[in-house]
């Protein structure tokens, strides 16, 4: 059965954008090998997980200055994978991510607020395949040595981003709901 990787990749992008709400000024850097953006959807009722292999985050975060903190996440839509060769070949096509026309998905934060010790809510604009939606992601920050890890997840509706068009718009085959999960490892974040 062919999977709908672009749908899941879009969700993963959304979640990674929210995760990027973690701290970073000029010295805050993403540690790619310790970071991930994944997405989970259901195909015919069965959960299917995918991930984006290539993304970046620009983070300017200070827990003492949330009003000026910002996060921008850029995801290479062509890096979406479901781990199945046939499905991965479909994801870049126009029906799914339309990579030739929309090579990147982005998340730009609009507000970051504290919801408790080490917990934040990151609101922003998620843009995938030419469509933009407001999203809010709860983010948990943990620090160990020089590394801060931001984790979280948020739901998106794939059809709001035109992921899985035409015959794939039938939600009995591929669910509209996609859960985006992220883990972003950052260096240079001030002590919480």
pLDDT confidence bin for 30, thresholds 50/70/90: very high
- pLDDT value of residue 27: 63
Give the three-class secondary structure for 129. Answer: coil
pTM of the model: 0.85
Percent of the chain with pLDDT over 90: 84
Over residues 65-87, mean pLDDT = 96
């Amino acid at each position: 059965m062919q999977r709908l990787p672009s749908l899941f990749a879009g969700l993963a992008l959304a979640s990674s954008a929210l995760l990027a709400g973690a701290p970073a000024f000029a010295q805050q850097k993403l540690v790619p090998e310790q970071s991930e953006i994944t997405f989970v959807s259901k195909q015919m009722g069965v959960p299917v997980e995918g991930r984006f292999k290539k993304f970046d985050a620009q983070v300017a975060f200070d827990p003492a200055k949330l009003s000026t903190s910002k996060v921008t996440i850029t995801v290479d839509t062509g890096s979406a994978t479901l781990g199945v060769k046939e499905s991965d070949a479909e994801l870049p096509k126009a029906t799914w991510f339309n990579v030739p026309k929309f090579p990147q998905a982005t998340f730009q934060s609009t507000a970051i607020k504290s919801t408790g010790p080490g917990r934040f809510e990151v609101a922003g604009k998620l843009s995938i395949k030419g469509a933009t939606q407001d999203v809010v992601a709860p983010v948990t920050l943990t620090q160990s040595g020089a590394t801060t890890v931001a984790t979280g997840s948020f739901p998106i509706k794939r059809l709001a981003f035109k992921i899985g068009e035409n015959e794939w718009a039938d939600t009995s085959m591929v669910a509209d709901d996609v859960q985006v999960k992220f883990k972003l490892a950052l260096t240079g974040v001030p002590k919480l």
